[in-house]
Amino acid sequence: MSYQREEEGKPISGGLVIEVSEDEFILAGIRFTAEWLPKRGENAKVDYIRIEEGTFDKDVWMTSSILNGDEASRISIKNKPSALNVEMYKYE
């Protein structure tokens, strides 16, 4: 993960990643970017199957929008607190 520099008038960046399963993650925070890489020594590449914006209602994920195309080229949370559900896959 990489965090944006502190800027006057903007919130401080921060975030967390929760591993739901081997290929699914929840990202939450503000002003950060995440990049996935294969495990060290693996001869594979990784990519995104699905990226959803949403929230939790109690313990159930509620999708508000699905990101695709240019929106999904890199996982980035902008200037307002947000949560993403990200599903990944590996290939050679």
**pLDDT at 60 (0 to 100):** 93
Tokens of residue 32, six digits = 């950060």
> Quick check: helix, strand or coil at residue 28?
strand
**pLDDT at 86 (0 to 100):** 93
Sign for the CA dihedral angle at 79, 90, 21, 59 comes to positive
**pLDDT at 20 (0 to 100):** 94
**pLDDT at 70 (0 to 100):** 59
Encode the chain (92 residues) as per-residue pLDDT tens digits. Answer: 666 777 787 778 899 999 999 999 999 999 998 888 888 898 988 888 899 999 999 999 999 999 875 555 568 888 889 999 999 988 88
**pLDDT at 74 (0 to 100):** 67
Q: How far apart are CA 36 and CA 22, in angstroms?
A: 12
**pLDDT at 83 (0 to 100):** 95
- pTM assigned to the model: 0.81
Question: What's the burial of 90, exposed, middle or buried (CB within 10 Å: 0-12/13-18/19+)?
Answer: middle
